[in-house]
Amino acid sequence: MTNEELKNLKSNLVVDARGTACPGPLLAAKKAIGDIESGEIMEILSADEGTKNDIPRWCDKVGHEYLGFVDEDSFSRLFLIKE
């Protein structure tokens, strides 16, 4: 997905994990994933740089489809589709 496409994406759930460092955002994502249905889009807000590598690895392992990330001023928005 291109940056433009990601920016215009409508998420079903936004998880704000900007207040925690590694592995906080991953834990927040794992907890929140149960709140959406299969095929829905989850967006994770993270200020932790490592999360950009960790979330795709998590998706790979668990089976969610990682879409990519968009950088904002002091954080990133990461997108995925639930398996």
Residue numbers annotated as active site? 22
Which CB atom, from 29 or from 67, has the smaller least distance to other proteins? 29
62: contact with other proteins by CB under 8 A = yes
Which CB atom, from 6 or from 32, has the smaller least distance to other proteins? 32
Within positions 28 to 57, which residues make up the interface with other proteins, using CB under 8 A? Answer: 29-30, 47, 54, 57
20: contact with other proteins by CB under 8 A = yes
Count of residues in the chain? 83
Residue 78 in 3-state DSSP? strand
Q: Are 9 and 44 in contact, with CB atoms under 8 Å apart?
A: no
Give the CA radius of gyration of the chain.
Answer: 11
| Span interacting with other proteins, options 21-29, 37-45, 65-73, 74-82, rule CB under 8 A | 21-29
**Residue 36 CA to chain centroid, in angstroms?**
13
